[in-house]
């Protein structure tokens, strides 16, 4: 059996774990992401985290020689470079992610690979989670933002410009207020994320006349459970927008299975039931029976998927590189 470290590098925290070629997380650790300290400091801290796990593995008689990373931002998987990133991580855009980690860890460049974190999440679910054993799966995550990934033949579709999966950024008829499109964090307006993300629910609640002092989306769900009709309406509209968006994507991609994940998917039936109702109302007749499942790996999904990058996965690697020793990964890139 072979082993790799899978890293889930997000805007707030970075989690990593030693993962076996069977997809089992043996042990893991988490650190805060130094999201205001720049790319080099983040690489230093991440390398320290990985090195600690490698030492723990060695103490247990396990050799780890490869690292996969699921990272926030638009990631050029072939070069291992952060193409762009939001303000959630300052100084992250332009970072040579895989080369920087490899140098710090003393590994060959071909032993470290990276993709966007939502692609890693979907890859983990496709490997050992709710989409295990399927030929294709569409995963859409609803939380602080809205992101997604389409996994086909064991590899996420990354896109020609590395931006595949930005499923929160297409038009939604729900993302309007009195005929005016709602502003989106991407700088445009009227997008799915502007109405269906977690923060958008809080904004919608206040916009509908709710209490401005309500601190967060979790509190909005609490108010809805206590009978607040304004809170319940904000949640229902966001869930319907989410379901319509996922249903439309399913019509386009025709996946074997649809997975929905993220903090809102974990919020219970108040969100899930109207989301799935809207999703199924959007489907073409040929897709009426498509399975719609909640993702099952939770916080481990991106770690598992990141490790899969270097454990016999057909995800992109530089054409000139050789097998890393963690598996026999193919050299093709899906675009």
**208-261 per-position pLDDT tens digit:** 999 999 999 999 999 999 999 999 999 999 999 999 999 999 999 999 999 999
What pLDDT is attached to residue 314? 63
- DSSP bridge pairs for 68: 6, 113
What pLDDT is attached to residue 319? 40
Lowest mean pLDDT among 48-62, 92-106, 234-248, 301-315: 301-315
| d(C-alpha 30, C-alpha 8), whole Å | 9
| Of 107, 115, 121, the residue nearest 64 (C-alpha) | 107
- Work out whether the CA dihedral 159, 163, 166, 172 comes out positive or negative: negative
The size of the chain, in residues, is 335
Q: Read off the pLDDT band of 335 (50, 70, 90).
A: very low
In percent, how much of the chain has pLDDT > 70?
93
Q: Give the number of other CB atoms < 10 A from CB of residue 112.
A: 28
Mean pLDDT of 261-279: 98
CB 39 within 8 A of CB 91: yes
In this structure, are 142 and 228 located in the same domain?
A: yes
In this structure, are 199 and 274 located in the same domain?
A: yes
In this structure, are 91 and 153 located in the same domain?
A: no
| d(C-alpha 101, C-alpha 109), whole Å | 9
What pLDDT is attached to residue 229? 98
In this structure, are 266 and 152 located in the same domain?
A: yes
Q: Read off the pLDDT band of 312 (50, 70, 90).
A: confident
In this structure, are 291 and 304 located in the same domain?
A: no
Does position 57 have pLDDT exceeding 60, yes or no?
yes
Domain with residue 194: its CATH number is 3.30.420.40
**278-294 per-position pLDDT tens digit:** 999 999 999 999 999 99
Q: Is residue 223 part of a domain?
A: yes
Q: Read off the pLDDT band of 326 (50, 70, 90).
A: confident
| d(C-alpha 278, C-alpha 168), whole Å | 16
Does position 324 have pLDDT exceeding 90, yes or no?
no
In this structure, are 148 and 96 located in the same domain?
A: no
Structural domain for 64, as ranges:
3-122+299-308
Mean pLDDT of 114-123: 98
Does position 23 have pLDDT exceeding 70, yes or no?
yes
Q: Is residue 316 part of a domain?
A: no
Residues 6+ apart with CB under 8 A from 131: 122, 125, 137, 139, 151, 256, 257, 259, 293
In this structure, are 158 and 117 located in the same domain?
A: no
Q: Is residue 277 part of a domain?
A: yes
């Amino acid at each position: 059996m072979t082993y790799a470290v899978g890293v889930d590098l997000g805007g707030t925290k970075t989690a990593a774990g030693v993962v076996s070629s069977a997809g089992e997380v043996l042990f893991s650790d988490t650190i805060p992401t130094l999201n205001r300290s720049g790319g080099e400091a983040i690489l230093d801290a991440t390398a320290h985290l990985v090195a600690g796990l490698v030492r723990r593995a060695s103490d247990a008689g396990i050799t780890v020689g490869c690292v996969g990373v699921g990272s926030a931002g638009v990631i050029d998987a072939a070069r291992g470079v952060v193409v762009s990133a939001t303000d959630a991580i300052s100084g992250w855009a332009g970072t040579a992610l895989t080369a920087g980690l490899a140098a710090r860890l003393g590994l060959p460049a071909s032993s470290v690979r990276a993709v966007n974190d939502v692609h890693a999440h979907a890859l983990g679910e496709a490997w050992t989670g709710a989409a295990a054993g399927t030929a294709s799966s569409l995963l859409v995550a609803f939380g602080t933002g809205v992101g997604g990934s389409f996994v086909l033949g064991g590899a996420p579709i990354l896109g020609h410009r590395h931006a595949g999966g930005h499923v929160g950024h297409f038009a939604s008829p729900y993302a309007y207020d009195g005929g005016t499109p709602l502003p989106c964090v991407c700088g445009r307006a009227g997008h799915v994320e502007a109405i269906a993300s977690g923060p958008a629910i809080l904004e919608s609640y206040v916009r509908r006349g709710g209490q401005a002092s309500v601190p967060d989306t979790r509190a909005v769900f609490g108010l809805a459970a206590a009978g607040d009709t304004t809170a319940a309406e904000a949640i229902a509209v966001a869930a319907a927008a989410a379901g319509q968006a996922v249903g439309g994507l399913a019509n386009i991609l025709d996946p074997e299975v649809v997975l929905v994940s993220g903090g809102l998917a974990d919020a219970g039936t108040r969100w899930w039931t109207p989301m799935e109702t809207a999703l199924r109302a959007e489907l073409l007749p040929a897709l009426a029976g498509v399975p719609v499942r909640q993702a099952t790996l939770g916080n481990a999904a991106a770690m598992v998927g990141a490790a899969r990058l270097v454990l016999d996965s057909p995800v992109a690697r530089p054409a000139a590189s050789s097998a890393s020793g963690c598996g026999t990964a193919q050299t093709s890139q899906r675009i």
